[in-house]
A and B are shown apart, each in its own frame.
Chain A
């Protein structure tokens, strides 16, 4: 595009041009639009949480008038993260999916915890992690009897809002439908039954 190049070629025109400038100004206008002009070195690509400040735009680097380094700059353009995230929620969700955090509550515990389900390869790992986190025993899952005999049973809320026993469905299905986890007393788990 035009831009930087045309500016340089027009220097002579500039000097004879009628301007509103103050006396003494306009004569030594520094040319060049490189990023070195301001001492900002481009930051390493900094993503705002779920932010849509976007992908590196290597494919758009052919504009001459753009500053040389085109890495993403923090806080530019000046749009609040809330607005960015709201406009590109699919992107935000996609980024959040790389790391699937769900809340875990336990009856009687004052605080919720959050865990990333994607770090576990299957139910056994998940259950061990929960046992460690809350210092309790969950025991073994059996299809017919659930967690019968254990002090605690892990349950989860699925996409439909129903509370299910952890372990009833295949792991992949669980990953895609689990919204949050809740560890309940073993005695209360009887109502949840077995099987999906």
Chain B
């Protein structure tokens, strides 16, 4: 499908939506079921008959026409046309048509997306695609976020930055997720790409403020510097001071995860000389008084992360008397609000003026009650994305359901993530949301108790659901009203939500739940399982029943070698499989490795676990053209 848009290098329109995209689940960017990079080698079919390989062609009725050879014309046409093809999926399909199309597609692809940095070597990627302007790389699997992967496992950015530095000196954008990035990598990046415009680091680690300083000082065309949920070490370097003294091109500066003080005066001056700045997300070291000063300097902001949203400890009364309401009212373009890291609820009324315009609100670090939420949320009629803590209780969720009819994405995080407490949100909140927010597409809901009835209700009330992630925090909790397993609830979700591509299950689940998933989850691409199932059948149902399954992560479930072997037909179509603390033996994993040579089968050993040698602690396997990687740490064995 050819779109009408011009190819874009770094388009501010795409940035506007992209901010939300980086927060949404991976699956929203619709990666194709079989990435043609993994399918690798050139296709063998040739083009239409009639265009031969050069010398003369079938249609002989064009004498003395000094045109280039027909297939050269075709290539030129193709090149001009394929520039407009932006969807990854379409490009992968186009590249499979014939050699000619493969070549031209490779020349015209400007956005390189690598879903698993170990699936292909940097050299191979850079030699196939020669005119790339934007690189996206994903590294560690998601369970690494929860300490299930020992540190220093891999996903190093270094080989990629050196390969791209040589191959694409014109590179403009780098987007990394769960990669290990060092200060040296960032320094090389800053040195190598003179026109560099966008750096987005999501869930990355390994670098510090000195790396940021290198980027700030050398990347003079920088428009976007987004650090999202990354771990940044404090190297005592004031990176904000390293931006050039002249006017900057900055459009987006997101550093809410950076746990170090920045020089506020330098920050204020930076904001003043960044007239294009639309997105600013401050860290918790910025007080509300400082926020005020920045807001009056930048009323054009569309996305604001408010920092601590509380007065600083040592500044005097002055901070509380500033006219915050006016400052917010002046930001007429503000549509996305987050921050509130150390919120003083008395300050909340300041945001009333902009509630009606908000499409995205992130209160997930704000410990506020239902009573404190209600006056805010009752004005948020346009809200589409809402992240919040369960401190608002079921009552708060009911208030959300009453007003936010346009809600597309809801995430309810636990304030106190322990397993055995009573818990402030339950099936009552879920039911209310399902009844009030019919357009819901994505939900992440942490709770202590749930019922099948509420989940079934949501499956019927919210037919547009694409992402359904329910985390009942107590392991293996059944429906707390009926005592039944949660099979029927999740079964209803896969059955009724015809657009569902991402599912995370929890609570007491038998193999029946997996039978439902295998039977009805025909377009499910990502599945997350923990402490669930009875036997190998559970996993078998899924592997045999879900042809679109790409990413499967399982922990602490009784699935063994037989189940693992039942997926042999499908593993090349998947990005990865993760299984930790299941019942896999080394022999079972070995069998897979032998049967599927293009699969890298990693067995990861954990120091902490008191485990016999019979079982493999963690299996992480993924298709790859690159074979076993060269940076294997000692706790990983590749079979």
Contacts and interface: CB of A to CB of B under 8 A. Distances in A.
A binds B: yes
Interface of A: 1-7, 10, 19-22, 25-26, 29-30, 33, 37-41, 43-44, 46, 48, 52-54, 57, 60-61, 63, 65-67, 70, 73-84, 86-87, 89, 103, 105, 112, 160
A112 B236 contact: yes
A3 B491 CA distance: 20
B607 to A, nearest CB: 11
Given A2-B483, A76-B475, A38 B610 contact: no
Contact of B231 (A37, A67, A82): A82
Contact of B583 (A39, A53, A105): A39
B420 interface: yes
A103 B236 CA distance: 10
A33 B476 contact: yes
Interface in B514-534: 515-516, 519, 530-531, 534
Contact of B417 (A5, A52, A160): A52
B274 interface: no
A182 B317 CA distance: 33
Interface residues of B, number: 67
Nearest first, the 9 A-B pairs at minimum CB distance are A75-B146, A6-B483, A60-B420, A7-B483, A40-B556, A77-B473, A40-B581, A30-B534, A54-B418
A2 B471 CA distance: 20
Given A61-B420, A77-B417, A79-B417, A5 B483 contact: yes
A74 B608 CA distance: 10
A183 to B, nearest CB: 15
B460 interface: no
A37 B532 CA distance: 9
B143 interface: yes
Contact of B148 (A25, A30, A74, A160): A74
A78 B609 contact: no
Contacts of B231: 82
A163 to B, nearest CB: 14
Given A5-B483, A22-B519, A80-B145, A39 B581 contact: yes
B483 A78 contact: no
Given A29-B512, A39-B558, A53 B418 contact: yes
Given A38-B556, A77-B446, A22 B419 contact: no
A86 B611 CA distance: 33
Nearest to A86: B365
Decide if the interface of chain A is mainly helix, strand, loop or mixed: loop
B510 A30 contact: yes
Given A39-B581, A43-B609, A103-B236, A65 B478 contact: yes
A63 to B, nearest CB: 6
B416 interface: yes
Task: Tell which of A21, A40, A76 has the most Cβ of chain B within 10 Å.
Answer: A76
Contacts of A5: 483
B488 A20 contact: yes
B147 A75 contact: yes
24 contacts: A3-B477, A3-B478, A10-B483, A10-B484, A29-B511, A29-B512, A30-B534, A30-B535, A48-B147, A57-B419, A61-B420, A63-B420, A65-B508, A70-B420, A74-B147, A77-B417, A79-B413, A80-B229, A82-B231, A87-B365, A87-B389, A87-B415, A89-B342, A112-B236
B70 interface: no
Contacts of B531: 38, 40, 76
Nearest to A21: B512
Contact of B146 (A44, A79, A112): A79
A86 to B, nearest CB: 6
Contacts of A3: 477-478, 480, 483
B356 interface: no
Contacts of A76: 146, 419, 473, 475, 530-531
